[in-house]
Amino acid sequence: MREFASQTMMIPERGIHVLLPPHATAAITERVQSDQPIDPLDSERLAIITEDPTLRFRFPTYSDGKDHMPETCVTRTAELRSIALHASSVLIESMSAAEIKKPFSVLLFGSVAKGLARYAGHTDESDIDIMVLSTLTKKEKNAFWNAFFRRKPEMRRTIELDYPNVRVPHISVNYQDSAQLLNGHYKRAISLIGSSATVLYDPNTTWEQIEAYALRRSKNLREMKSKIDNPQRTLADTKQQNGAQILQLPLPIL
């Protein structure tokens, strides 16, 4: 099984710390350790996560986030991420059982990906949110869902046996057409990036390509808006400030 190694990033306006995806953690850490500026696309990622609408809604002020952080649990987050990996293996089996040969990706997103999972037994316990990305036809989607739902009861029983002392929450599996995300409908990809979407399975780099496309689109739009709103502010200034932002953040490895 894969292991996650993620950095935390503080969002001062929200009073919270969120996890960055492991692949972003590796890229940023390498740049910082070699005293190089952060890649512009990683800077754009940080901006998207900071501006995430869900975070703005849940934590409109610093005090809202500060009050929430004691309810989160690093151990619980690690447990739920391990369970998500188990669930992803069942999704992979389901694709195979449905005889689907098309490339697909499986992502973890939501509160568990962000590192904001509440402790076990909380009255509003965190779910596990998983996204499947592919280009399935209606017939293929039906075959995939049928194969998955046949395996879902056994999946839960196996998880409960493998994690006897862990409360297993609801596991929500969603589907998104990956081709749409590469053909103009990139805002859903931006939403996943803002949710610290973490790769569970991506052998054909489906998500990697979608993510890079969405980050480039978002970066270009931000630069255009910046030129309109701040004619005197140069692109070099913007990059320098974005680069400085991450260097000032506490980034312990979990």
Residue 254 maps to a domain: no
Residue 57 maps to a domain: yes
pLDDT tens digit string along 52-104? 999 999 999 999 999 999 999 999 999 999 999 999 999 999 999 999 999 99
pLDDT tens digit string along 209-224? 999 999 999 999 988 8
> For the chain, what is the largest distance between any 2 Cα atoms, rounded to a whole number of angstroms?
61
Question: Would you state the structure tokens that stand for residue 158, as one six-digit string?
Answer: 């196996």
Residue 138 maps to a domain: yes
End-to-end Cα, the chain, rounded Å = 17
- Burial label for 99, CB within 10 Å (0-12, 13-18, 19+), is exposed
Q: Residue 197 sits in which domain range?
A: 8-247
Q: What is residue 168's three-state secondary structure?
A: coil
Write the single-letter amino acid at 133. Answer: L
Q: Does the model's pTM come out above 0.75?
A: yes
Q: Provide the domain count of the chain.
A: 1
pLDDT tens digit string along 146-159? 999 999 999 999 99
- Look up tokens 């692949």; give the residue: 23
Cα-based angle 66, 70, 74 (whole degrees, multiple of 5): 120
Residue 3 maps to a domain: no
